[in-house]
Homo-oligomer: A and B are copies of this chain.
Amino acid sequence: MKNQEAKDEFINLWGVLGSQWGINRSMAQIHALLLLTPDTLSTEDIMEELQLSRGNTNMNIRELMNWNLVYKHFVAGERKEYFKAEHDVWTIATRIMKERKKRELVPAKEIAQKIRKAKLSENNAESKHIQKTITDMDDFLGRIDQLSELMLKAEQNIIFKKMMTLLK
């Protein structure tokens, strides 16, 4: 298999996985391409390789930098910006968790708590069940939040370390 074929397959895999998890295809593909590149690429390199417009490429590189998955790199004597991906898979995973937690889990928890706190004026079987559903879900989101916190602090956590060891 040629390098290019392997790259294309990986880029495609990452694109599909991304879109299944609510991350846009171009962003995932740019990420994949940068993961496959030992050093750096410019916006134009990426546009060329993935056949994307400048606007699209630029916006998604910015977004990858917001997620702390890609960094800017300056090349001596060059005016244009170059980009480099974070290559360590565990670091990538924790950065993604951190970002999704911040963007989705925390706001969801806030809404759940708001509904939970607002007492229901009606007092019947339905309101009992609604309360329970909302309470259960809020508790569940809290658990997920704590679990993600635990994983993000995995390095310092003995139980989690043991669990990961079990998985080796």
A150–B103 alpha-carbon span in the complex (Å): 27
Interface of chain A, main secondary structure: helix
Stretch of A16-24, A45-53, A65-73, A74-82 with 4 or more beta carbons under 8 angstroms from chain B = A16-24
Q: A104 near B38 (CB under 8 angstroms)? A: no
Residue of B nearest to A105 (CB): B17
Q: How many of these chains are in the complex?
A: 2
Within residues 18 to 71 of chain A, which ones have a CB less than 8 A from any CB in chain B?
19-22, 35-38
Which of A1, A38, A103, A108 has its CB near the most chain B CB atoms (within 10 A)? A1
28 CB-based A-B contacts, threshold 8 Å: A1-B121, A2-B122, A3-B120, A3-B122, A3-B127, A6-B115, A6-B118, A6-B134, A9-B111, A10-B115, A10-B133, A13-B108, A13-B112, A17-B108, A21-B21, A21-B22, A35-B133, A37-B129, A38-B125, A38-B129, A89-B139, A89-B140, A93-B140, A147-B167, A150-B163, A159-B162, A159-B163, A159-B166
The interface of chain A, by Cβ under 8 A from chain B, is 1-3, 6-7, 9-10, 13, 16-17, 19-22, 35-38, 87, 89-90, 93, 103-104, 108, 111-112, 114-115, 118-122, 125-127, 129-130, 133-134, 136-137, 139-140, 143, 146-147, 150, 159-160, 162-164, 166-167
